[in-house]
Structure 1
Amino acid sequence: MSFIPRRIFPNYNIPLSNFKGHHQKALTKFGHLAPQIDLVLEVRDSRAPLSTTNVLFDRVLAQKEKIVLYSKKDLSALKSSVLRKWHESVNEKHLTIDCRSRKDAQKVIDLIKQRYFEMTPPPPLGLRLMIIGMPNVGKSTLVNTLREVGLSNDSVGAISTKRRKVARTGGQPGVTKNTSEIIRLCREPDILVHDTPGVFLPTVKDIETMLALGMVGCVHTSFIDPVIQADYLLYLLNLQDPTGSKYAEYINRPTNSIDELLYHIAKYRDQVNGDGSYDELGIASHWISLWKQGNSQKYKAVFDLQAILDINGNDLKQIFKNERERVTTMKVSEKIVNSLGEDGTARSKHRRRTAKDREYDLKNRLFKY
């Protein structure tokens, strides 16, 4: 009898919220800085391109031109044709990148320079960028690489061409908690950027989304039970390849049972005790980490269910429309309206202005609206 992968994932009881105080603070800061920003770079993880899309950004930066950058392309099995189809449907520019790659950073800088030279007149205070995205998608790493590449010409003849990192990075989410002051990426033309903290949604729509975010490291490793996370990974791998080849080194047949797979992984690692017991949590964490880190080609994958199902552009529009309607009812949207106005920008006069609002109003007079 041929193997049939599960089509429905169990409705485990896991938290759907990881929204923190500095996320709300960052959203408000985005709105305050919006009049100064010429271009937005939104970073999403290419292994979970839908789950790492935060529609709250549209509330505060909707009127800004945007380029979407899909990071960690070296870890993703997502076909470029899928992304191209999605973005053509909304007439949006995008690139797939490795945030550590100088070659990819140069491509991003070339795109930014192209936009600079298209602006008439060119921005007198330099082209100002904001890099945004969910937690731990690679924003700060990208800032460091862009700066290293963009300022490399300034180092001609210098003893050392290595640039000091200006943005802190780390393996867990939440390393960046505040929006940075302006950082220069390039002098000719003058390109400047704000590095920003990753911003989570107040609640995600379902457990599959949270588990996808867990697989790409947008939440701390301790946030989700590793056995549940491993079960979700098994579920996705079977949908992508029902032959079981993704875990064939441990077991010679496909399986829908995470308990069976974890036992065979423990056996493969010679970590099964005499009574047949093993460290279930430890084995699950180990297997998940292999796919998170993607240390070899065989660990490339896609962790978004809807991306695996290969939805079309119209379906994508409907998904994001539904998601925008969902977040509109949340308290965070009310706070955005109170602080930035109904249109989500600090230019609106119909808002509850604070001292901080008035401070940014004065600063923003320097910039063309």
Structure 2
Amino acid sequence: MSVKCGQRLVRTSFSYGQSINWFPGHMMAGLREMRDQMRNVDLVVETRDARIPLSSINKQFEQIVKGKHRVVVYNKADLAPVSIQATVQKEMAKRSQHALFTDTSVDKSVKQILELAKTLVKDDPVRYQQLVVMIVGMPNVGKSTLINALRRIGVRKGKAASTGAKPGVTRTVSGKIRVLETPAVYLVDTPGVMVPHIPDPIAAIKVALTGGIKDNIADESVLADYLLFRLNLFDGVDYCNVLGIEEPTDDISYLLQMLGKKIGALRRGGEVDIDKTIHFFLRTFRQGKFGRVCLDDLDEGSVEEFFQRNLEDASPSKNQQRKAKRAAQRQRTLERARSRNLD
């Protein structure tokens, strides 16, 4: 369906029926390590992406963290509208989840986590001679960057965790990283763990668009089309000015032609290099150049529907487990094949 926006028609819905599954072997191993180490953990910091406050929830963590102190940290808050924070915190509180928003470049926001750790120790100093905090979350939500920020602020030391713009940089559960001297607080970094099967294809697109799934796993042309669809619906987002193109459009092919010529992404003969142009378009979004955006709908009805559809049962069925195992095996086969082709 389309509606008129100014002098043009824009879509009001986006249809996509294919699932995007990415659950390589190191994620399954990471989940096992998390379970094994959880007995030694006092506080779990579940990190999510503020641009997709619902879609970045991984229901697998519900069973793993059960019975532990937990705080939900919506990272990359500098890329999401400030206006969503109160709504998200209210909706999470309804589900007994304490939510914070962090921007790792702003010390004050990161200190919230250290202050929470200090409070736990202060309330029960006999139990917590030292506090062990485990950082969990889906790929590329900024867990390692958050750890480095906590270490910089808490003990004024440099990077302790490797970071990168692509998902899958952290592949194993790390040893303890000290982030506070008094009281003694240690962090444990973990690999980003994807949901083995995201039932909603649009939610999977959102995760991929924000960098949680490797681009070569998703269909990048679909990601670009969905991004254009959302940009046309956002109030106050002037993507034409950002991209330096003459006019808005709801046609992704037309946009890529205009943009490719603008940035000089051309093949021999003057043909637009579509792949290079798509990469530029997606990178522009991921770098926050379109301004603060939220890809999830956060009205009360949409939130309720999301939780009912995706999180009713936190433990996967045997059939879902078999599907996840087969998906991981297929992914390992594909990665081995790609590796051989590159050699």
Q: Is TM more than 0.5 here?
A: yes
Give the unaligned 5+ runs of structure 1.
Answer: 153-162, 336-369
> What residue is the counterpart of 2:61 in the other structure?
57
**CA offsets, 1:314-365, max 9 Å, x none?**
7535523432338622557589xxxxxxxxxxxxxxxxxxxxxxxxxxxxxx
Task: Tell whether 2:320 aligns with 1:328.
Answer: no
User: Do the aligned residues in 2 keep the contact of 1:46 with 1:72 (CA within 8 Å)?
Assistant: yes
How far is 1:71 from its partner?
0.9
User: Do the aligned residues in 2 keep the contact of 1:137 with 1:218 (CA within 8 Å)?
Assistant: yes
User: Do the aligned residues in 2 keep the contact of 1:116 with 1:127 (CA within 8 Å)?
Assistant: yes
| Residue aligned with 1:42, SS | strand
Give the unaligned 5+ runs of structure 2.
Answer: 324-343
> What residue is the counterpart of 1:240 in the other structure?
234
Q: 2:254 aligns with which of 239, 247, 260?
A: 260
Q: 1:301 aligns with which of 293, 307, 313?
A: 293
Amino acid of the structure 1 residue aligned with 2:48 = R
How far is 1:177 from its partner?
0.8
**CA offsets, 1:154-200, max 9 Å, x none?**
xxxxxxxxx24221111211111111112221121111121111000
Task: Go from structure 1 to structure 2 and tell me whether the alpha carbon gap of 1:244 and 1:138 turns closer, same or farther (over 3 Å shift).
Answer: closer
**CA offsets, 1:222-276, max 9 Å, x none?**
22232211101011112223x8733355455442211111122123335567977
Q: 1:23 aligns with which of 24, 27, 33?
A: 27
Matches within 5 A, 1:1-369: 2-3=4-5, 4-11=9-16, 13=18, 15-77=19-81, 79=83, 80-119=85-124, 121-124=126-129, 126-152=130-156, 163-241=157-235, 245-248=238-241, 250-271=244-265, 277-294=271-288, 296=289, 298-304=290-296, 306=297, 310-312=298-300, 316-324=303-311, 325=313, 328-330=316-318
User: Do the aligned residues in 2 keep the contact of 1:78 with 1:301 (CA within 8 Å)?
Assistant: no
Amino acid of the structure 1 residue aligned with 2:112 = K
How far is 1:147 from its partner?
1.4
User: Do the aligned residues in 2 keep the contact of 1:16 with 1:205 (CA within 8 Å)?
Assistant: no
Amino acid of the structure 2 residue aligned with 1:190 = A
Task: Go from structure 1 to structure 2 and tell me whether the alpha carbon gap of 1:63 and 1:220 turns closer, same or farther (over 3 Å shift).
Answer: same
Inter-partner Cα distance in structure 2 for 1:272 and 1:193? 47
CA RMSD of aligned residues (A): 2.7
How far is 1:144 from its partner?
1.5
| Residue aligned with 2:11, SS | coil
| Residue aligned with 2:199, SS | coil
| Residue aligned with 2:230, SS | helix
TM-score, length-scaled by structure 2: 0.83
Q: State how many pairs are aligned.
A: 316
User: Do the aligned residues in 1 keep the contact of 2:73 with 2:102 (CA within 8 Å)?
Assistant: yes
